[in-house]
Structure 1
Amino acid sequence: MSRALHFHHMTPADLATTVRQVTVDVLRERDLDTTAVPEAVTVERPRNPEHGDYATNVALQVAKKVGMNPRELAQLLADVLANHPAIDTAEIAGPGFINLRLASDAQGQLVATILEAGEQFGHSELYDGQVINLEFVSANPTGPIHLGGTRWAAVGDSLGRVLEASGAKVTREYYFNDHGGQIDRFARSLVAAAKGEPTPEDGYGGGYIYDIAQVIVDKHPEALEGDAATVQETFRAEGVELMFAQIKRSLHEFGVDFDVYFHENSLFESGAVDKAVQTLKDNGNLYEAEGAWWLRSTDFGDDKDRVVIKSDGDAAYIAGDIAYVADKFDRGHTLAIYMLGADHHGYIARLRAAAQALGYDANAVEVLIGQMVNLVRDGEAVKMSKRAGTVITLEDLVEAIGVDGARYSLVRSSVDSSLDIDLDLWQKQSSDNPVYYVQYGHARLCSIDRKAAEAGVSVEGADLSLLTHEKEGDLIRTLGEFPAVVKAAAELREPHRIARYAEELASAFHKFYDSCQILPKAAEDPQPIHGARLALAQATRQVLANALGMLGVSAPERM
C-alpha cells in the first residue's frame, strides 16, 4: 500500500479511547472528578445510519456524577471531538448522545491497515502469557461420536482458534475414559456379537459393534477361547483401541486434531489418584464417615459433600476428576476450560470444589455446558443412523452437508441453547444457506481480484479517501468491528459471534457490490476510484478469510 497520503487511523476501539481521553481532559480542565469516566467508553453504530457513523452516551453516563447537565457536557465534548483530525463532525442528539462522523480519509485508513495486517487483522495480545487447557469432545470410546460430541468438536476447535488469535497458548485435550462400567458393557456387547448371541440387556447395539467384533476375531482367531475374564479382557482392550482409532480418524477428517489424548486409566496406574487423595487427607479436606472418605465440597460451594473413596475401598468416579484437575495445573496451565454435555451441570461446582480443595484457584476452572442437537428433514426429526442404529453420528452429518456445512451449522449458535439443523436448508446452494452465503462472498471477492488483474486495475498507490459512498462506509465500518467481535468471542467463550459477524460482513459486501462499480466497464480505462474500491474488496476478502479461518471452515477461491 502506498503511504503517499497521511491517513488518520480509526477503528471503533480507537474511537472509544479518543472519546474517553477527551472526556477526562474536559473534566480535568474544570477541576471535576475524572474517576467518573468509565474504563470502557461505549461507542456504537447508531440504529439509523443518517445519524452518523458512531454514537456515544458518555455524557449521559458521566454528567450526573460530576453535577453537570448531560447536554451541556455533551456540547463541551462535541466541540473538542469535532476538531480531531480523524473526526468530520460531532453533533448532539436527544438527552445528550453525541453522534460522530469520521473523516473519509480516516475510514480509508482502515482499509490500508487491514491490507497491511493481513492474516493478523483481528488478532490481539489479550491473553498473552495465558496457557489454556481446553478439554472438549472426550466422548467415551464405546461408539461413534454422536451429534452432541460433534457440536463440541466444532465449537471447541473454533474456540481454540479464537483464543490463540487472542494471544493464548492452547492445549487441545481429549480425556479418554478407558476406566469403568460403560467400557465393561461395551466389551460384553462385543463378546456377545462375536459369539452370535443377542446384545446384553444393558449393552450397545448398532452395526459398528458387529464390525469391531469381526475385526477382533479375524485378528485373534482364538479370542473366544479361555475363561470368561480373559475373553472379556481381550475384547475390551482390542475393542477400545479400534473404536478410539476410528474416533480419532473421524475427528481428523472433520478438521479437529488434539495435542493431548489423556487416558483416565493412567491416573490410577501412575498413582496420581492416590497422591491427590493423600493431599486432601493431609490438608483436612477429606474426612471419614460411614466407612467412606468424603470431600468437604460444601465448603467450596458444592451442594453436597462427595464420596471419593467408597466404603469397599474402591475409588469413586470423582477421584479421577480430582487427580486430573491437579494434573492439568501441574503441567503449567493457567486456566482449565472443560466443555461438557447437557447432563453434566453437577460438574461445575464439583470440579471447582476439587480445584480449591487441592489449593488451586477456583476461577482457573471453567465449565461450559453444551445443549443437544437434532437433525430435521422435511420438518421431521431424523432418528436413525446407518451404522450406529439409534444415534446420529458425526459421519451422518458430514455425509449430509459436508465438513464445512457441518462445522458452520454447529458453531453459529450459542451452545447453551439446543439446536435443530435443517438438512434441506444446509444442502441448498443458495444465499438462504449461511455457509454458502459467506463462502460465496469470499469466492466472488477472489474472482474480482482475478478480473482486476486482467483489467489492469491495481491497489498500488490507491487514494482511499475516495471511498465516500454510503455502501462503502457501511462496509468499512463493518470491517472495523472485526477486532472487537474476536475479543468478545474470546472473553465470552462464544465463537458463534464470529459466524454471525461473517454473515453480516458478507451482506455488507453484497450490498456494496450491487451499488458500486468496482472495476471499469468493458471499454473504460481504470479510474482512481477503481483502485480504491479494489483495495476495499481485498480488505473484505482478507477479513472474511480470517473469520472463516477462526471457525475452521474453508475459504474457497472458486465456487
Structure 2
Amino acid sequence: MTPDQLSSTIVHALTALSDAGTITLPDGVPTQVTVERPKVKEHGDYATNIALQLGKKAGMNPREFAQLLADQLATAEGVASAEIAGPGFLNIRVAAGAQGALAPQIVAAGASYGTSELYAGQKVNLEFVSANPTGPIHIGGVRWAAVGDSLGRILSAVGADVTREYYFNDHGVQIDRFARSLLADARGEDAPEDGYGGQYISDIAATVVAKVPGAAELPDDEALETFRSVGVDLMFAEIKASLHDFGVDFDVYFHENDLHESGAVDRAIARLDELGVMYDKDDARWLKTSEFGDDKDRVVIKSDGEPAYISGDLAYYLDKRERGFDRCLIMLGADHHGYVSRMMAMCAAFGDTPKVNLELLIGQMVNLVRDGQPLRMSKRAGTVITLEDLVDLIGVDASRYALARYSMDSTIDLDLDLWASQTSDNPVFYVQYAHARLSSILRNAGDLGVTIDESTFDPSLLVVEQEGALLRSLADYPKVVARAAELREPHRVARYLEDTASAFHTFYSVAHVLPKGDEEPSELHRARLMLVAATRQVIANGLDLLGVTAPERM
C-alpha cells in the first residue's frame, strides 16, 4: 500500500462517517489526506494529523474525531491498526498483505513505476549550462549539466512536455576576445591581456589554420572574422560532443546572435510599448521594472541607439513564450544572483506571473579536493577544471551522481578520492552495487529454477520488520519523484536511492531469499524474490532519472 493508496483509504473512511451523519464537515470531505512516515518507526508505518485539521471544523475535540476515524479505519481493507497519539495524531499500521501487494505492482509497472500526470499538459522550457562558447565547459557548468538533465528527466516523469535548451552567448565582447586570442596564437604572439589562454586555444587555432590555410596571414579584420566564425563553430562542436559523452543532449541550441539579427529585440520592445511599460528619458528607452519589484528601472536602448544587455533577455523570454511554453526554467550560477529581481520584473512587465511562467534556479560553486588539497588547474584549459577533467578523474556515473546529489543552493566540496573509490563509502558505488547484487540474486534464482509469479504470490508472507521497511521505502518512490519535480530538487532522488539501498542491504542480511543446498523452493522464497525484483526495478528507475547506469554486475 502506497501513501497515496492509504490517503484514499482515509478519505473513504471520512466519507463513510460523513454519509452516516457521524461527523459534519462544513467544507466537505477533503479529496486527499497527507500521510507521512513517523520519525519513530515503533509508532507505526504511517501517521496523519487529519484529525487535528478537521476536528474543530466538525465541532469536536480532535482526539474524539481521531477515535471515530480510527474505529472506521479498523474495518478498512489493508489497515492493521490505527492508534491515537498526543492531541489527535493517528499512527497507522498497514496489514502485511496490503503492504506486500505493492511488490508485484511495481514489477508489472516496470519503468513506469513512479511516473505520474502531475504536470500533464504543461510545456516546460528548461534552459541550462548555456556556457559562453569561448572555452571548454568548466566545473560550474558541469554541475548544471548533471542537475539540469536530471531535472528534465524528473519533470518528464511527472507528465511535463520538456524541451531542453542551450543558449549560446555568441554576441558580444567575449566572442571578440576569443577570436583575438585564436589569431594571436596562430601568429605566435602573446595572448591579449583580456584574452583566453590554455592548450585548447592553441588546438583550435591550429585547426582553423588547417581548415583555412593562410588564415593567420590575412589582413587583420579579415583574419579576425575568419578565426571568429570558424573558431566559434569548432568550440560549439566540442561543447556539444563533451555534453553528449556526458549523457546530456539538448533539443534546441539557441544562438543569442539570432535575436539581434532576426528583429526579435524590436518585437519585444514593441510588445512592451503596447503594454505601456516603456518610456523615454535622456535619449534612451527605459523599461518600468521598478513597478514590478526591481530596485530601479532598466535601460533597454542606450542613448547611442545600441541595445542594452537586458534587451536580449526581453527578446529571448518573449520568444520562448511565443513558442508556447507555459513554464520557462533557467538555471544560473551564483554570480547571477543579482539578475533575479530584474528578470522577474521583466516577466511581470509582459503580463506574466513570476515564479510560474518564469523560474530562475541559482546554483552554488563546486570545489574539487584530492589528497586533502583543492584541485584548481586543468591540463588543457589552464585555469579552470573542465568537464573532461572531472570525467577523467572519477568517470561519468560518479560525476553525474555526485553533482546531482546535493541541493543546488549549497556549495559542494567533492572529494575525488572518495568518488573514485569502489567502497560503500562512495554513494554512487553503494547504490549501483545494490542494483548489481539484486540482479545477481535474480540470476541465481533463474539458475535454481525459482521464478516469481504474481498469480501464486502471497504478500501476507512478508511479515519480517526488514521486509516491511523495504516495502515502505519502495512505496515512497512516487512521492519522492513528485516532490523532486515540484521543488526542482533532483538530489531528493539520489538520497532516496541511498536510503533504499540501505533498506535492501539490511533486509538481505536477515532474510533467506533463495533455497540453500537441497532445500526445496517455498512460497516464502518466491515472495521474497518478488520483493527483490521490485527493489531492483525501483533502483533502476531512480538511477535513470539521474542519468546514471544501473549495472547488472560489478
TM-score of Structure 1 vs Structure 2, range by shorter chain: over 0.9
Aligned 8 A contact 2:9 2:76 in 1: no
Q: CA deviation at 1:98?
A: 1.4
User: Offset of 1:34 from its aligned partner?
Assistant: 4.2
Which residues in structure 2 correspond to 1:287-326 (within 5 Å)? 287-326=279-318
Cα distance in 1 for residues equivalent to 2:194 and 2:114: 50
3-state SS of 2:395 partner? helix
User: Is the alpha carbon distance of 1:146 and 1:232 closer, same or farther for their aligned partners in structure 2, counting shifts above 3 Å?
Assistant: same
- The aligned amino acid for 1:155 is V
Q: Tell me what 1:80 maps to.
A: 72
Partners of 2:405 and 2:194 lie apart in 1 by 36
Task: Give the equivalent residue in structure 1 for 2:402.
Answer: 409
Distance 1:38 1:326 in 2: 39
Matching residue within 402, 422, 426 for 1:433: 426
| Residue 133 (structure 2) pairs with residue 141 (structure 1) | yes
Correspondences of 1:421-460 after superposition (within 5 Å): 421-460=414-453
Structure 1 counterpart SS, 2:55: helix
CA–CA separation in structure 2 for the residues paired with 1:268 and 1:248: 23
> Which stretch shifts more, 43-52 or 513-522?
43-52
SS at match of 1:293: strand
Q: What's the CA shift for 1:35?
A: 2.5
What is the CA-CA distance between 1:358 and the residue it aligns to? 2.9
Matched, 1:369 2:369: no
Task: Output the CA distance in 2 between the equivalents of 1:12 and 1:343.
Answer: 40
Please report how far the alpha carbon of residue 31 of structure 1 lies from its aligned counterpart in structure 2 after TM superposition. 5.3
Aligned residue type for 1:59: A
Q: Specify the SS of the correspondent of 2:280.
A: strand
Between 527-536 and 351-360, report the one with greater CA deviation. Answer: 351-360
Letter in structure 1 aligned against 2:4: A
1:534 to 529, 533, 536: 529
**Coordinate RMSD, CA, aligned:** 1.5
Task: Confirm or deny: 8 A CA contact 1:24 1:34 kept in the other structure.
Answer: no
Select 1:551's aligned residue among 536, 546, 550: 546
Separation in 2, partners of 1:34, 1:502? 42
- Measure the CA separation in 1 of the matches of 2:243 and 2:307: 31
1:97 equivalenced with 2:89 (yes/no): yes
Residue 21 of structure 1 and its aligned partner are, at CA, apart by 3.8
Deviation at 1:227, TM superposition (A): 2.9
Label 1:60 to 1:378 Cα distance change in 2 as closer, same or farther (>3 A): same
> What does 1:126-525 correspond to in 2, within 5 Å?
126-362=118-354, 363-460=356-453, 461-525=456-520
Residue aligning to 1:17: 8
* Deviation, structure 1 residue 459: 0.8
Asked if the contact 1:82/1:89 (under 8 Å) is kept, the reply is yes
Q: Partner of 1:26 in structure 2?
A: 17
1:108 aligns with 2:103: no
| Matched AA of 2:148 | G
SS in 2 for 1:256: coil
SS state of the match for residue 164, structure 2? strand
Q: Distance in 2 between matches of 1:513 and 1:116?
A: 22
Any conservation in 2 of the 1:191–1:235 contact (CA below 8 Å)? yes
SS at match of 1:267: helix
State the shift of 1:24 in Å: 5.0
Shift of 1:92: 1.6
Q: Which runs of 5+ in 1 are unaligned?
A: 1-9
Three-state SS of the structure 1 residue aligned to 2:468 is: helix
C-alpha distance in 1, partners of 2:63/2:206? Answer: 79
TM-score by length of 2: 0.97
Paired residues of 1:74 and 1:92 also in contact (CA < 8 A)? yes
Please state whether the residue corresponding to 1:294 is helix, strand or coil.
strand
Deviation of 1:104 (Å): 1.2
Structure 2: segments with no counterpart, 5+ residues = none
Q: Deviations over 1:286-320 (max 9, x none)?
A: 21111111111112211111111111111111111
Question: Kindly, what percent of the aligned residue pairs are identical?
Answer: 62
What letter corresponds to residue 197 of structure 1 in structure 2? E
Q: TM-score, normalized by length of structure 1?
A: 0.96
Q: Is the 8 A contact 2:246 2:396 kept in 1?
A: yes
Displacement after TM superposition at 1:542 (Å):
0.3
